[in-house]
Structure 1
Amino acid sequence: MTWTESVWQRIDPLYKKIIHLPFNQELLKGSLPREKFKFYLAQDAYYLGEFGKALSTISGRLSDLDHVLAFSNFASGAIVVERALHEGYFQTLGLPHEVKPSPTCLLYTNFLLNQAAYANVEKAVAAVLPCFWIYKEVGDYIYAAQTQSEMNPYQNWIDTYAGEDFARSVHKAIQITDQLAEKLSPEGQEDMFEAFEMASKLEWMFWESAYRLEKWGV
C-alpha cells in the first residue's frame, strides 16, 4: 500500500463528512442559494492566489527537476484558474475584485504558506495535496450523483473539478507525494500525515464556512 493510499483511509471519515455537508449536497442538486455560491467563489479566488504562491515556494525547494517542473505548472495553473474566476464568474455574479479573506480562508492559506516555507519539503507537499485530491473526489462524487433531467446552474464548476485535465494534475501530485514519502522513516511519514490531516480538516472548514457566509466578529 502506498503512503497516499494509507493516509486516505485514515481521513476517509472526514471526506465523507465533506461530501455530506449542506453546501456540497445543495450544490449537487443545484439548489445551493446563489449568495452562498458567490461567497464561496470569492473566497476560493483569494485562496487560489495564495495557494499558487505556496506551490511556487515548494517548487523552488524541490531537488528533482521533474518535481520542480510539476509544481511550477501546478502554481501557474492555480493562478490561471483564479484569473478565470475573475474574468468569468466575478463579472456575471457581480463580485468585487478586491476580496477580503474570511477567518477560515485566512487560517487555511496561512497554514499552507507556513508549511511551504518552513516545514521540510516532504511535509509541505503533503500539506498542499488535499486541495488537489479532495476537490477531485468531491467533483467526481457530485458529477456521478447528479440527475441529468435538469441543468445544474453550477455545472461549469462541477465539470472543472470532474474533468480530465484536473485529474491528470491530481494524479501527478499524488505520485510525487508517494515518491517523497518512500524515502522517509515511519516518523517522517507520520509528520507528513499530520500536515495532510490538518489541511483536510481545513478543507472541511472552508466549505462549511462558505455555507454560513462566515464573517469576522468585529
Structure 2
Amino acid sequence: MNWTTKVWEEARPLYDKIIAMPFNQELMHGTLPLQKFTFYMAQDALYLKDFGRALAIIGGRLTDSDHMLAFSEFATGAIVVERALHTGYFKLFGVNEQAVTPSPTCLLYTHFLLTKAAVANVEEAVAAVLPCFWIYQKVGEHIYAQQRADRENPYKEWIDTYAGEAFSKSVNRALAIADKLAEHADLKTEQAMTEAFITATRLEWMFWDAAYRQESWPI
C-alpha cells in the first residue's frame, strides 16, 4: 500500500468533519452569508502568497529535476489562482485587499508551512503542503457533485476551480511525488510525513472554521 493511500485512511475522519462543517455545507447550498465568504477569500489570498513561497522553497530543495519542475509550476499556479479567482471576487464584492491583515489561524497555518518548507526534511515538507491540494480537490468535487441543477450558486466559480480537471492534474502530480519520496524514506521519515499531513489537514479545518466565525485577534 502506498503512503498516500495509508495517510488518507488516517485523515478520512478529519475530511468527513471538513465536509460537514457549516462553512462548506452552506457554500454547497449557496446559502453561505456573503460576509463570511468574503472574509474567507481575503484570508485565502494572504494564505496563497505564503503557500506559493513554501512551494518554491520546497522546489529548490528537491533533487529530482522533474519534481523540482513540478513544484516550480505549483508555486506559479498558486499565484495564478490568487490573481484570477480572488481578484475577480474582490472586484465583485468590493474588497480592499490592501486593508486585509492575516487572522490568527491564517498566520498559524502559513508559518507552519513555511517552517516545514525551510527546515524539515524535504519529504515532510512535501507532506505538509499536500492537504492544500488534496483536501481542496476532495471538497470541491464533493460540493460539485451535490449541487442542485435548478439553483444557481453564487460561489460557482470557486467550486468549478477546485473541482476542475486542471486542478485535478496538479493534485495527482503532487500525490505521485509524495508517494515516490515515501518509497525511499525510512520509517521515522514516513511517520514525520504522516504527522505533517494530519496537522495540515487539521489546519485546513481551522481555516474554514475561522472564516465562518470571521475570526479576529482577541486584543
Query: TM-score, with normalisation over the residues of structure 2?
Result: 0.98
The separation in 2 between residues aligned to 1:35 and 1:86, in whole angstroms, is: 15
Q: Which amino acid aligns with 2:60?
A: G
Paired residues of 1:139 and 1:162 also in contact (CA < 8 A) = yes
Post-superposition offset of 1:129: 0.2
Paired residues of 2:41 and 2:86 also in contact (CA < 8 A) = no
Post-superposition offset of 1:187: 1.7
The separation in 1 between residues aligned to 2:213 and 2:87, in whole angstroms, is: 26
The separation in 2 between residues aligned to 1:170 and 1:85, in whole angstroms, is: 18
Paired residues of 1:45 and 1:85 also in contact (CA < 8 A) = no
Residue in 2 that maps onto 1:202: 203
The separation in 1 between residues aligned to 2:156 and 2:27, in whole angstroms, is: 9
**Unaligned regions of 5+ residues in structure 2, if any?**
none
CA deviation profile, 1:8-28 (whole Å, cap 9, x unmatched): 000100000000000000000
Post-superposition offset of 1:145: 0.9
Q: Pairwise CA RMSD of aligned residues?
A: 0.7
1:125 lines up with 2:109 in the alignment = no
CA deviation profile, 1:76-103 (whole Å, cap 9, x unmatched): 0001111114431111111112220100
Paired residues of 1:23 and 1:32 also in contact (CA < 8 A) = yes
Residue in 2 that maps onto 1:139: 140
The separation in 2 between residues aligned to 1:97 and 1:153, in whole angstroms, is: 20
Q: Which amino acid aligns with 2:73?
A: N
Query: TM-score, with normalisation over the residues of structure 1?
Result: 0.99
The separation in 1 between residues aligned to 2:206 and 2:164, in whole angstroms, is: 24
The separation in 1 between residues aligned to 2:57 and 2:188, in whole angstroms, is: 24
Residue in 1 that maps onto 2:70: 70
Helix, strand or coil at the partner of 2:97 = coil
Q: Which amino acid aligns with 2:2?
A: T
The separation in 2 between residues aligned to 1:30 and 1:184, in whole angstroms, is: 43
Residue in 2 that maps onto 1:167: 168
The separation in 2 between residues aligned to 1:26 and 1:10, in whole angstroms, is: 26
The separation in 2 between residues aligned to 1:87 and 1:216, in whole angstroms, is: 25
Q: Which amino acid aligns with 1:115?
A: K
Paired residues of 1:135 and 1:161 also in contact (CA < 8 A) = yes
Using the aligned pairs only, state the percent identity.
Answer: 61
Matches within 5 A, 1:152-191: 152-191=153-192
CA deviation profile, 1:104-158 (whole Å, cap 9, x unmatched): 0000000000000000000000000000000000000000111111110100100
CA deviation profile, 1:186-216 (whole Å, cap 9, x unmatched): 2210011111110000000000110000000
Paired residues of 2:85 and 2:158 also in contact (CA < 8 A) = no
Q: Which amino acid aligns with 1:147?
A: R
Q: Structure 1 stretches (4+) deviating beyond 6 angstroms?
A: none
**Unaligned regions of 5+ residues in structure 1, if any?**
none
Paired residues of 2:123 and 2:181 also in contact (CA < 8 A) = yes
Paired residues of 2:52 and 2:74 also in contact (CA < 8 A) = yes
The separation in 1 between residues aligned to 2:217 and 2:140, in whole angstroms, is: 29
